Amino acid sequence: MEDGALIAIRIHYNTATVEPEADQSSVQLKVDNAVDKQAAIVKIFDPRWLVPGGMSIAAGDADASHTFTYTNNSAQTFSLWSAGLHMHQLGMSASLTLEQAAGQDDGLLEIANWRFGWQGTYFFQEAIAFAPGDSATLTCHWDNSGADGVTTESGEGSTDEMCLGMVYGTLAD
């Protein structure tokens, strides 16, 4: 990062259940001249979900679901160190599964009884290889059978919904 470079930080608030108040967020950054390994956080989701009607959750549907599979089509193997899932208020369950080209399946992260506050990052005890030809499948389930009778779409607001998987990884040794 060069001197004078700008960093944009996006903060996502939920004011649906509490009165808004002054922001008390803080950020600490550390910049080093070099790192042992470059890392990245990769978001896994279907880009078609971002357009109107792309991730519709019908009113009255007690078990709506959407699934997306991302395949590692690169020539690189990555080491995955953590995973996270993100949904909003209607979420029931979500999972991120690794299907290895060699035929073995591993559950990276599964939250069978979703709670809105569980939008964290979960670290693995050991790195998990994500090799060429491997796929990561994201599946989310929602309960939209409530009395309001409104079809819900993907969106940023807390009354909208999301289905987002995230992995933190580095290039494998």
Segment 30-56, tens digit of pLDDT: 888 888 888 999 999 999 999 999 999
Residue showing tokens 């409530």: 146
Q: Please determine, for residue 143, whether its predicted confidence score (pLDDT) is greater than 90.
A: yes
User: What letter does residue 123 receive in the DSSP assignment?
Assistant: E
Closest CA to 169 of 84, 49, 69, 68: 84
Q: How confident is the model at residue 23 (pLDDT cuts 50, 70, 90)?
A: confident
Lookup: tokens for 21: 């108040």
Bridge partner residues of 101 (DSSP): none
The fold for domain 39-171 equals Jelly Rolls (2.60.120)
Q: Domain residues of the chain, as ranges?
A: 39-171
d(CA 71, CA 107): 15
d(CA 117, CA 134): 30
Please tell me the pTM assigned to this model: 0.86
Residue showing tokens 């796929």: 135
